Structure 1
């Protein structure tokens, strides 16, 4: 069985500004600084933030599901502002998912706002389809809101 979930978060931050954060390791640094209690922590296992970089995300205590996951960046496209990764250890794989991939896309709405589209694609054996309901975009939604709030505050304080 294959599945797909997607969520759009409208943010009052220009697409280029959001993309600068999302395309780099700065996203993990800000997650560690701003959202450790809500999401968890990110650690670079290998790489410099480009394709092939492996991250370990340790989820905050109390979050239902797996305690950690490792993902590898499989695509970073600056032209269409897309970043894709695949879970290689932990995460939904611990529940029997054969594949789990994340996609983040920054879509320009106008000069001052953009949409962060957070998506998950997964594959799981048909016999395990009842656990597909565990899949959620909630951590990515929390991340989008937290990062945009940080950037708005940073922008307003520098004016």
Structure 2
């Protein structure tokens, strides 16, 4: 497969909530519950295929309209010290249109006692034969998840 350079799309969003609370939402399966409650316009369903939210957990997100497409990912890093969660795409999204790798990382950065930054980074590589099409992961979906978590955290703080 030849070594491909990873491209990165990074976004940061400040949240008026402690980093510990934000991390509690992002680690394990908290985000899936939030997606099921708040993002029904984007996701038809979320399903844990394997695991309990720790490293090795595999989840499938099915997009609206029903059955149109889905994205399956595996949790690869869960670092409570650094507040970093990383997932690797297994199928769907960018992988379905020419990417060979898709990695999503969420990092919760403490700003002050009552505020934090949610940093989301999508790293991806494009297969050589698809370079001309320049496929990209759905950053809008990640942004919708982060915005929804910001609202949730600020309302509960």
Aligned residues: 152
Trace 1:72-151 onto structure 2 (pairs within 5 A): 72-151=74-153
Q: Which stretch of the first structure deviates more once superposed, 75-84 or 23-32? A: 23-32
CA shift for structure 1 position 151? 2.1
Q: What secondary structure, in the 3-state scheme, does the structure 1 residue paired with 2:134 have?
A: helix
Match of 1:51 among 55, 59, 67: 55
Q: Which stretch of the first structure deviates more once superposed, 128-137 or 28-37? A: 128-137
Question: Distance between the aligned counterparts of 2:88 and 2:75, measured in 1?
Answer: 7
Moved over 6 A (4+): none
> In the alignment, is the contact (CA less than 8 A) between 2:15 and 2:154 conserved in 1?
no
**TM-score normalised over the length of structure 1:** 0.87
CA shift for structure 1 position 126? 2.9
**TM-score normalised over the length of structure 2:** 0.88
Is 1:42–2:46 an aligned residue pair? yes
Runs of 5+ in structure 1 lacking a partner?
Answer: none
> In the alignment, is the contact (CA less than 8 A) between 1:96 and 1:128 conserved in 2?
yes
> In the alignment, is the contact (CA less than 8 A) between 1:6 and 1:117 conserved in 2?
yes
CA shift for structure 1 position 69? 1.1
> In the alignment, is the contact (CA less than 8 A) between 1:50 and 1:73 conserved in 2?
yes
Match of 1:16 among 20, 25, 31: 20
Q: Which stretch of the first structure deviates more once superposed, 73-82 or 118-127? A: 118-127
Once the two structures are superposed, residues 39-59 of structure 1 have per-residue CA deviations (whole angstroms, 9 ceiling, x without a partner) of 443210110000000000112
Runs of 5+ in structure 2 lacking a partner?
Answer: none
Question: Distance between the aligned counterparts of 1:136 and 1:91, measured in 2?
Answer: 7
Give the superposed CA RMSD.
1.8
Question: Distance between the aligned counterparts of 1:131 and 1:77, measured in 2?
Answer: 35
